[in-house]
């Protein structure tokens, strides 16, 4: 009766092609930049609404009452805009680090 040996087989994964790495780099970079842009936008909104409302009222700028009421409502939620913005920026940094780790041909030691 033949015996079966319990030898662990390490499957050999083919190295990713250069075009595959280039595609991952381009798409990953685009994603990171998009997430960073979203983060910057929300942080800017967190600063803009609280500044804009008193400025509109002091300068008597021609803004409809509905728009001013909406701006006042958004100004009271500055902390939500700031939270979303900071979280998006942190996600962008983590995604950038993971992208570099994934594309780095030499593992860090």
Q: Is position 9 within any domain?
A: no
Q: Is position 82 within any domain?
A: yes
The number of beta carbons lying within 10 Å of the beta carbon of residue 61 is 10
Q: Is position 6 within any domain?
A: no
- Say whether pLDDT at 7 is over 70: no
Per-residue three-class SS string for the chain = CCCCCCCCCCCCCCCCCHHHHHHHHHHHHHHHHHHHHHHHHHHHHHHHHHHHHHHHHHHCCCCCHHHHHHHHHHHCCHHHHHHHHHHHHHHHHHHHHHHHHHHCCCCCC
Q: Is position 63 within any domain?
A: yes
* Contact between residue 102 and residue 23 where contact means Cβ atoms under 8 Å apart: no
Domain containing 74: what range? 37-103
The whole-number average pLDDT for the span 24-44 is 95
Q: Is position 7 within any domain?
A: no
Q: Give the count of domains, the chain.
A: 1
Q: Is position 2 within any domain?
A: no
User: For 58-87, what is each residue's pLDDT tens digit?
Assistant: 998 899 999 999 999 999 999 999 999 999
Q: Is position 69 within any domain?
A: yes
pLDDT tier at 16, thresholds 50, 70, 90? low
Q: Residue 21's pLDDT is what?
A: 82
Q: Is position 24 within any domain?
A: no
- Say whether pLDDT at 1 is over 70: no
């Amino acid at each position: 009766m033949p015996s079966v040996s319990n030898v662990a087989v390490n499957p050999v994964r083919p190295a990713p092609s250069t075009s595959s790495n280039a595609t991952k780099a381009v798409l990953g970079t685009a994603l990171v930049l998009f997430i960073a842009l979203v983060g910057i936008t929300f942080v800017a909104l967190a600063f803009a609404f609280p500044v804009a409302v008193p400025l509109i009222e002091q300068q008597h700028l021609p803004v409809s009452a509905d728009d001013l009421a909406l701006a006042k409502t958004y100004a009271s939620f500055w902390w939500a805009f700031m939270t979303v913005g900071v979280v998006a920026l942190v996600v962008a940094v983590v995604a950038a680090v993971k992208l570099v780790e994934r594309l780095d041909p030499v593992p860090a030691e």
